[in-house]
């Protein structure tokens, strides 16, 4: 018996730019996430690879703790 509540690939996170309220940016390469974080003065929390062209990488940021 299979459990239909489990996603096929638990490592792949779905990203919806309309409903996601976190501070994020899309980039062409992963390394750009680090540069963006530095230029924004924020901490890079996560990089999501959506595998969708032309900007497959989603960089998630948050403020540094006070």
pTM of the predicted protein model: 0.76
The pLDDT value recorded for residue 41 is 96
User: Is the model's pLDDT at 2 over the cut of 50?
Assistant: no
Determine contact, residues 11/29, Cβ cutoff 8 Å.
no
Between CA 41 and CA 65 the distance in angstroms is: 12
* 42 within domain boundaries: yes
* 4 within domain boundaries: no
pLDDT digits (tens, 9 = 90+) for 22-56: 999 999 999 999 999 999 999 999 999 999 999 99
Between CA 20 and CA 32 the distance in angstroms is: 20
Residue among 62, 56, 58, 57 nearest 23 (CA): 62
The pLDDT value recorded for residue 17 is 87
* 34 within domain boundaries: yes
* 7 within domain boundaries: no
For residue 52, the enclosing domain spans 23-56
Determine contact, residues 23/60, Cβ cutoff 8 Å.
yes
Q: For the chain, what is the domain count?
A: 1
* Angle, CA of 24, 26 and 32, to the nearest 5°: 100
């Amino acid at each position: 018996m299979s459990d239909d509540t489990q996603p096929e690939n638990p490592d792949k996170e779905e990203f919806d730019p309309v409903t996601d309220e976190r501070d994020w940016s899309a980039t062409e390469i992963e390394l750009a996430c680090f540069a963006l974080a530095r230029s924004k003065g924020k901490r890079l929390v996560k990089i999501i690879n959506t595998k969708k062209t032309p900007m497959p990488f989603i960089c998630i940021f948050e403020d540094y703790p006070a």
